[in-house]
Structure 1
Amino acid sequence: MTVHMILGFIIFMLLAMPVGYSLVISGWVALSVFDSVPSSMAVMKIFQPTQSFPLLAIPFFILSGSLMMSGKLGKKLVALASMLVGKYHGGLGQVTVVGSTIFGGVSGSAVAEASALGSMLIPWQKREGYPGAFGAAVTASSSVIAGLMPPSIPLILFAVVSNTSIASLFIAAVIPALLLAGGMMIACYVIGRRRGFPRLKEKHTRAEIRSTLLSALPALLMPVFILVLLRAGIATPTEVSIIAVAYALVVSALIYRDLTGTRVMAALTSTVITTGVVMLIITAANIIGYILTSGGVPQAVANWALEYLQHPLLIILAINLMLLVIGMFLDLPAAILLLGPTLVSIGNAIGLDLVQLGIMMCVNLSIGLFTPPIGTTLFVASAIAKEKIGSVVKELLPFYLVALVVLLLVSYVPALIIY
């Protein structure tokens, strides 16, 4: 049954069928046709995960991000970032990284961030004399910070798969996210200095910086607000996500005063579409997970790793290498849901903390988002910049190095994330 499912999935993917549909059809056929399981049970396995209470956090976090990012807030954040780092070498690249880090604490989605920030910052960089390929590279790579900064959608998915605390994952992800941001800012500085990129010459008074900081403060407080509520045990992740929507509505209506019916409808539409895509993959992954578990695949893989690789450090290296390859072809949510159960079994077998495993998976698979041939943020940023993928990939080489260094630190220095 497992072999039939894998072959079916590969065939459907080669036919360019979307991942979610490929998973559902191959899993349903494997259950119903080759294992003689009643169709009603196959359907039940597909819809079972939609009844999970923690998963309700996903649409609400997406909605709060859509409400916050679609108004004046985006311009305020970009203005603040440009005031803080625009005057340095590679300043506009650093503005993108800082903006991505802040937006990551609002949106939780790398693709949404690449689209929203890229449409604002890439044309600006090109007007100031930056190469379009460089602007696309910075946007594509820095947008994946959203996969780590709370409220991270991938971390919520891993928590559901592994029965790990969402709050623990959110807190553990902050330092790796800041390490990525810091490393990418250093890369922008070095590249900007070596290649003589223009710097912003406009000077700002302390009063102007203070005013812009105060106007952007509601967005800056969003991830802090989420972490405090979770860490103090005041609310569950799902309750926090609903509070975040209320927070976004109040901020937009009373502070920025740009909340309109059109914006609300656009945010709701975007949320429904994004949630639908995520939930399709979740439901599909459940039936695939059932097939793999029934076939004893996770335990078999764990036993193989223990028998042949033996040392935990080698097993962690093998996990990372496998994820780097898979991340190039499979989107982040699908990879977490499909590989999560197997890797959790391996992690438990070698005594690897599941919080560390979750951060490892998110950092690793996030690299795939800006790596060809299927890199989502890479394609989004390249399309906005109107640059060829090959040109953007060449500019991405320093950012790949930064991401790999952070991945190694997360994998082999657990003190960074477990405290």
Structure 2
Amino acid sequence: MVGIIFGSFVPLLILGVPIAFCLVLTTIFVYLQIGDPRLFLQIPQRMFSSTENMLMLAVPFFIMTGEIMNRARITDKLMDLSSALVGWIRGGLAHTNIIASMFFAGITGSAVSDTVAVGGIMIPAMKKNGYSEEFSAAVTASSSIIGPIIPPSIPMLIYASVMNVSIAGLFLGGLLPGVLIAISLMVTAYIIAVRKGYGERTPFVGFHRLLVAVIRGVPALLLPVIIMGGILGGFFSPTQASAVAVMYGLFAGFVFYRTLKLKDIGPILRHTVQSTAMILFLLASAKCFSWLVSYYNLVEHVTLVFVMLTENKYVFLLLVNVLFLIIGMFLDMGFAIIVLGPLIAPIAYQYGVDPIHFGLITCTNLTIGLATPPFGLVLFAACGISTVTLGGLSRAIVPFVIAEIVVLLLVTYVPFFTMYFPRLFGFA
């Protein structure tokens, strides 16, 4: 029967059938093989029940918050602040790009949104100032993956919903890995800038300009502070925090910056509905497929495979990282979390890995896959907003992906980087 599962799912995937439909159709094929018509009643029941989790209400609100900030052109303010902070370093525009992505991560929680919003401004600016377009696009794509790691993070919301892990703990655990990735990318960009003569070092802009940039950027930077502060302070739940984020975003766009117009509300809502529908339909489809995982004891079979390969926790984590990196190159991140999370996480717990720690390993790993050649999603987004080819971008991004993998190994084997803040605030 396992052969039927993979024998139907893989061909559908190769034919280009959307992943959500692949999951449902595979489930139907297996039900037909079992021959019990009562099983078909489970499909609508399970799809509907998957959307009843209150935590998933946060998804449309966080998506809407990011879209509001995009439409309000908050990116410009974050660019000015980033430039004032690090623009004077050798390869300054590359560092500005990376820091802006880190700031923007606290608003959108989406790598693709980060790529489009930041890259749309920075890639032309870097090209104009003598940076190669491939290098500019590589910096943009590699730094945009910080978005799903620094809170708020939509992949972490999905993981918390599927695996019943504290979302506040995951959000806190993503802070240090996100900063580490930004630092590693800046070091890599600096080395390449020195070798290729990009961006001569310029004088520091001065504390007056830095202060002005901070004042203009503070309203945008307050958003993640309000979200995490409210959750940790017990003022509201993660779901309520997402609604507060929308209200704050509207206030910042209409009142403070005055860059948001009433005509923007329609496109914001349309984008929010489209993105939310895609995520929830994928989650609902995976809920049907999860029945097959439990019915055929796939977790036990996979556990036996890993145990036969190794009984060492560190070797197991290395194997998981290799598996997730390969999967992250080809498959949708949400699908990978929904399907592989329940399959692999219980095995990790048996090896003594903390649930929050493994959640951060999973999200960080699959997020790096978004920027890993040949099929990382942000690579296509970066190509779409520039004139670089996928091949050229793939070659240019390799040093940055290597730097991110180094951070992934630190996250995997040094739990301090993911568990310090969750433990500090009592979530682990």
- What whole-Å deviation, never above 9, does each CA across 1:367-414 have from its counterpart, x for those lacking one? 211123321101110222211111111111211111111111111101
Give the structure 2 partner of residue 239 of structure 1.
240
Distance in 1 separating the partners of 2:381 and 2:327: 20
Kindly provide the CA deviation profile for residues 308-354 of structure 1, in whole angstroms up to 9, marking residues without a partner as x. Answer: 41111111111111111111111111101110001121122111101
- Which stretch of the first structure deviates more once superposed, 305-314 or 379-388? 305-314
Which residue is equivalent to 2:65?
A: 64
What SS does the aligned partner of 2:147 have?
A: helix
Structure 2 length as normaliser, TM-score?
0.94
Query: Is the contact made by 1:66 and 1:267 (CA closer than 8 Å) also made in structure 2?
Result: yes
State the one-letter code of the partner of 1:157.
I
Equivalents in 1 of 2:170, 2:414: separation in Å?
16
Deviating beyond 6 angstroms after TM superposition, the runs of 4 or more aligned structure 1 residues are none
User: Post-superposition shift, 1:307?
Assistant: 4.2
Task: Output the TM-score relative to the length of structure 1.
Answer: 0.96
Whole-angstrom distance in 2 between the partners of 1:201 and 1:418: 38
Shift of residue 33 of structure 1?
4.8
Q: Would you say 1:248 and 2:249 are equivalent positions?
A: yes
% identity of equivalent residues: 33
Give the match's secondary structure for 2:294.
helix
> Residue 270 of structure 1 corresponds to which residue in structure 2?
271
User: Cα–Cα, structure 1 residues 90 and 34, in superposed 2: closer, same or farther, change >3 Å?
Assistant: farther
What secondary structure does 2:134 align onto?
Answer: helix
Q: Which residue in 1 is equivalent to 2:135?
A: 134
Gap runs ≥5 in structure 2 = 421-428
Distance 1:277 1:199, change over 3 A: farther
Contact 1:302-1:349 at 8 Å conserved across structures: no
* Equivalent residue letter for 1:273: Q
Q: Give the structure 1 partner of residue 339 of structure 2.
A: 338
Partners in 2 of 1:14 and 1:194 — Cα distance?
Answer: 42
Code of the aligned partner of 1:10: V
1:11, CA displacement in angstroms? 1.0
Q: Is the 8 A contact 2:91 2:201 kept in 1?
A: no
- In the TM superposition, 1:224-235 aligns within 5 A as 224-235=225-236
SS of 1:328's equivalent?
Answer: helix
Whether contact under 8 Å (1:135, 1:385) holds in the other structure is no
Residue 41 (str. 1) matches residue 35 (str. 2): no
Deviation, structure 1 residue 46: 2.1
Would the aligned equivalents of 1:149 and 1:223 in 2 still touch at CA under 8 Å?
no
CA contact (8 A) 1:156 1:166 kept: yes
| DSSP 3-state at the match of 2:375 | coil
Partner of 1:323: 324
Partners of 1:85 and 1:136 lie apart in 2 by 19
Aligned length: 419
Matched, 1:212 2:213: yes
* Residue in 2 that maps onto 1:26: 26
Contact kept? 2:282, 2:335, Cα under 8 Å: yes
How far, CA to CA, are the matches of 1:9 and 1:209 in structure 2? 54
Alignment-derived partner of residue 407 in structure 2: 406
* Paired position in structure 2 for 1:80: 81
Offset from partner CA, 1:7-33 (integer Å, 9 cap, x none): 221111111122222222222332345
Distance 2:15 2:322 in 1: 27
How far did 1:35 drift?
4.9
Q: Report if aligned partners of 2:88, 2:205 keep a CA contact under 8 Å in 1.
A: no
Report how far residue 45 of structure 1 moved.
Answer: 1.6
Counterpart position of 1:388: 389
Give 1:99's aligned residue: 100
Q: Report how far residue 87 of structure 1 moved.
A: 2.0
Structure 1 CA distance for aligned equivalents of residues 390 and 18 of structure 2: 21
Distance 1:32 1:244, change over 3 A: farther
Amino acid at match of 1:282: L
SS in 1 for 2:50: helix
Separation in 2, partners of 1:199, 1:269: 43
C-alpha distance in 1 between matches for 2:228 and 2:282: 27
